[in-house]
C-alpha cells in the first residue's frame, strides 16, 4: 500500500487522531448548487433589491428613447422624430399622474407662531380686542399680557421687528426702539409691566393697562424711523 493510500485510510477511519472523510466539505453538483443559489436569492435582502415594476418600466422607456434617438433611427423618422418623442413624453407624464396622483396644495393653516414663550397665532387686532374684553372684566393681569402681545404682534405684522421664537419682552422692546427711538422708555416700561404680571406674579392695575394701551396707540400712529435716518 502506498503512502497516499495509508493517509486516506487513516482519514476514512474515525478516531481521535484524525478527521473523518464525512467532515470534509464536498463541492455540490449542478442540481445542488442551483438549489443552494435559489435558497440564497430567496432571502429578504435579495428580494428587496430586486427592481420593481416601475423600475422595469422606466428602464424600458429609457432604452426605447435611446434606440429612437440613434442617428440611424432619427434619419429614418425624419421630422416625425420630434412628434413621436413629444407623444411619448406626454404619455409618460399622464402615466405618472395616474400612478402618483396630482400634487395637492396643503390646505392646512400655517403652524402657530411662538410669541413671548407661548404658541399664539392671533392677529394684533384680535389680541387688542381680547385685551379690551379682559379690561372690561377688570382682569388687569390678563389685559396687560394680551395688550403687550398685541404691541409685539403689530410690530411683526408691519415687518419692523423679527424676534426669535424665544425672544423675551425686553428683547422685543429693544428691537422696537430701533424704528421708534422716541418710544424707547415707554417700550421698556411696557416690557417691565408684562414681566411683572406674567412671571413675577404682581397684580395688574388699570393704570398699567392704560399706559400700555396708550403706548400701543402711539406706535400705531407713529411713522417708523428708517435705519438710514438714524444718526451714527
Q: pLDDT per residue over 3-17, tens digit each? A: 555 554 555 555 544
Q: Which three cell numbers stand for residue 110?
A: 400655517
Q: Which three cell numbers stand for residue 7?
A: 493517509
pLDDT value for 222: 92
Total number of residues shown for the chain: 232
Whether the pLDDT of residue 230 is over 50: the answer is: no
pLDDT value for 7: 55
Whether the pLDDT of residue 21 is over 80: the answer is: no
3-class secondary structure, 137: coil
Rounded mean pLDDT, 91-110: 57
Whether the pLDDT of residue 184 is over 80: the answer is: yes
pLDDT value for 119: 80
Whether the pLDDT of residue 105 is over 60: the answer is: no
Phi, psi of 119 (to 5 degrees): -75, 120
3-class secondary structure, 51: coil
Whether the pLDDT of residue 120 is over 70: the answer is: yes
Rounded mean pLDDT, 58-75: 63
Q: Does the model's pTM come out above 0.85?
A: no
pLDDT value for 43: 61
Burial class (CB in 10 A: 0-12, 13-18, 19+), 219: buried
DSSP letters, 157-189, are: HTTS----TT--HHHHHHHHTTT-GGGHHHHHH
pLDDT value for 51: 60
pLDDT value for 23: 47
Whether the pLDDT of residue 218 is over 60: the answer is: yes
pLDDT tens-digit series, residues 142-172: 999 999 999 999 999 999 999 887 889 999 9
Whether the pLDDT of residue 104 is over 50: the answer is: no
Domains of the chain, residue spans: 53-100, 114-229
pLDDT value for 115: 82
Whether the pLDDT of residue 107 is over 50: the answer is: no
Q: What is the mean pLDDT of the chain?
A: 74
Amino acid at each position: 500500500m502506498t503512502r497516499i493510500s495509508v493517509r486516506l485510510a487513516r482519514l476514512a477511519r474515525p478516531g481521535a487522531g484524525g478527521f473523518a472523510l464525512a467532515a470534509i466539505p464536498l463541492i455540490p453538483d449542478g442540481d445542488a448548487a442551483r438549489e443552494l443559489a435559489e435558497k440564497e436569492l430567496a432571502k429578504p435582502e435579495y428580494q428587496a433589491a430586486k427592481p420593481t415594476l416601475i423600475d422595469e418600466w422606466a428602464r424600458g422607456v429609457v432604452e426605447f428613447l435611446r434606440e429612437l434617438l440613434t442617428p440611424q433611427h432619427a434619419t429614418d423618422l425624419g421630422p416625425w422624430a420630434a412628434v413621436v418623442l413629444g407623444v411619448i413624453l406626454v404619455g409618460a407624464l399622464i402615466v405618472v399622474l395616474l400612478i402618483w396622483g396630482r400634487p395637492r396644495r396643503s390646505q392646512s393653516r400655517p403652524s402657530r407662531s411662538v410669541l413671548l414663550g407661548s404658541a399664539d397665532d392671533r392677529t394684533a387686532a384680535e389680541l387688542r380686542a381680547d385685551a379690551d374684553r379682559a379690561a372690561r372684566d377688570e382682569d388687569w393681569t390678563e389685559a396687560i399680557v394680551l395688550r403687550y402681545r398685541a404691541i409685539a404682534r403689530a410690530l411683526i405684522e408691519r415687518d419692523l421687528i423679527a424676534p426669535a421664537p424665544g425672544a423675551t419682552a425686553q428683547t422685543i422692546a429693544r428691537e422696537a426702539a430701533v424704528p421708534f427711538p422716541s418710544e424707547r422708555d415707554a417700550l421698556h416700561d411696557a416690557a417691565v409691566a408684562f414681566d411683572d404680571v406674567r412671571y413675577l406674579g404682581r397684580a395688574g392695575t388699570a393704570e398699567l393697562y392704560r399706559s400700555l394701551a396708550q403706548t400701543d396707540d402711539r406706535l400705531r400712529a407713529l411713522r417708523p424711523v428708517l435705519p438710514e435716518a438714524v444718526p451714527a
